[in-house]
Amino acid sequence: MIVTTTHAPGTFCWPELATSDQAGAEKFYGALFGWTVEKSPMGPDAHYTIFQLNGVPVAAGATMQPEQKAQGIPPHWLSYVATADVDASLAKAKGLGGTALAGPFDVMEHGRMAILADPTGGVFALWQARQHSGVGVLDETHALVWTELATDDPKKAGAFYEALLGWKGEAYPGMDYTVMKRGDAMVAGVMPKTPEMGPMPTQWMPYIGVDDCAATLAKAESLGGKAIAGPIPVPGVGLMGCITDPQGAHISLMQFTGQGG
């Protein structure tokens, strides 16, 4: 396992679960992906969950705030993008039609962050690292391998992220799909929402690498989750799937084969 210690600006660096049942989520993802849990205190009777793979951080989770529940926000994964300057990036995002939802604010000595929505409604976070850079492992089984936006207006969303983060969009051959690149590196995907997604809101979706997509979908259901889609062949890549955990948060799976299944 290769340990990552820094994340270049404009790359996804941290997936964070907001859940209605933190203990239940810890149990589910621990059983599904083999993640272990480190608990970081967050005041009286509360903690921040750091999911680990072989002792290295791969994701996080926390109980949803009462105001989130009051607004009808469902359990969800929030994807963080690295930036060198949160305040400047947030100001730029506002000028491009984005909406600030929280921050910027300091997260103790770990870093500085803000939460915002793009002009199509996709919510994400900006992260300026100090002592905590983000996940320590990428692109491996049971770690973050991809992050993807499903939106009603891919063109509008793509233009926003290109201007904000310096990405360049490229059409993926044979699919209605845009690969966003930072230089030569692929950093994210943007796609139109499909009827099969049902009422799923516009959102950034983290993908976790798996060795067997079909088996992981079945295991998720046996643990109280729900298989939403898959295994679906992705030409030249592998097999993908999508699940909801027992609390209703969506997360996707990717089994790399290089042959599209």
Mean pLDDT (whole number) for 1-7? 72
pLDDT at 21: 95
How many Cβ atoms are within 10 Å of 61's Cβ, its own excluded? 23
Q: What residues make up the domain containing 173?
A: 144-256
Q: Do residues 196 and 150 lie in contact, with contact meaning Cβ atoms separated by under 8 Å?
A: no
| pLDDT band for position 2 (cuts 50, 70, 90) | low
How many Cβ atoms are within 10 Å of 71's Cβ, its own excluded? 8
Q: Does residue 216 form part of some domain? A: yes
pLDDT in tens, 47-59: 999 999 999 999 9
pLDDT at 1: 60
pLDDT in tens, 193-206: 877 666 777 889 99
Q: Does residue 251 form part of some domain? A: yes
233/175: higher pLDDT:
233
Q: Does residue 241 form part of some domain? A: yes
Peptide bond into 104 cis (omega under 30): yes
Q: Give yes or no for residue 217 having a pLDDT over 50.
A: yes
Type and span of the H or E element at 159: helix 154-165
Whose tokens are 């976790």? That residue is 208
pLDDT at 72: 84
Q: Does residue 180 form part of some domain? A: yes
Q: Do residues 162 and 92 lie in contact, with contact meaning Cβ atoms separated by under 8 Å?
A: no
Q: Does residue 139 form part of some domain? A: no
Q: Does residue 215 form part of some domain? A: yes
Strand order in the sheet with 144-151: 168-171, 178-182, 185-192, 144-151, 203-209, 250-256, 238-244, 226-234
| 245/71 Cα distance (integer angstroms) | 21
- CATH number at 192 reads 3.10.180.10
Q: Give yes or no for residue 241 having a pLDDT over 90.
A: yes
Domains: count for the chain? 1
